[in-house]
Structure 1
Amino acid sequence: MTRWMDEEAGPVVRPYALIGGRTRSSGDALDLVAMVTATGGTPSGGFVPGPEQERILTLVTTATSVADIASELDLPLGVVRVLLGDLQDHGLISIGRASASERILKEVINGLRAL
């Protein structure tokens, strides 16, 4: 199978095609540092995860941040949020808040100030 490629832009199929042109889902409110974990459940309502969602499920066997998922998939954050929202709606992932101790937060603030 021949793939249409543009040397500078990459594949002709744009990321929004992965999500059917949708720009919103239940994943819109996901924070960059929200931790995503696969539930190990089976899809509900006849939902069949696409290839990118299968990659997400493989990545999140251990808790992984939304930012790390987007980076690993090399997809825009908005696209990843829609994909995650679909997975969450079908009970395939759980999303939790990142836990950061006060000490870590202070170190981050001090590091930013040093810049």
Structure 2
Amino acid sequence: MKAARTALLAMAIMASGATPLLAQGGHGTSMSGMDMKNMGPLQKGSMEAMEKMNKAMMQGMMDPDPDLAWMKGMAAHHQGAVDMSEAAIKHSKDETVVKEARKTKEENEKSLREIQAKIRKER
């Protein structure tokens, strides 16, 4: 459970907008400047998913159409939740966490399909 709490803390830090303040780079660190050497597989998987998600969200928000920009950003957000849930399903030893991760994955896959359909319709 401690690993799950650590991953949730890392996610909260990333979501807080503190990422630019942490950006340092360097050996053993992610783009956010967090030391990945001492993280377990769940934290590493979650951090990698968040970095991928953040990049895709920012790219999506660059669409000149504000409605499409929002939808593309949200699609990336939902994909990030799916990817983070997969990391938890794969690496968590706590069945409660795995159960919640499966539920979160299913909900976000559904939301992702819906928003992708709306994006295709808007184009």
- Give the TM-score, by structure 2 length: 0.25
The structure, 1 or 2, with the larger RCO (C-alpha pairs under 8 Å, 6+ apart) is 1
More strand by share: 1
State TM-score, norm by structure 1: 0.26
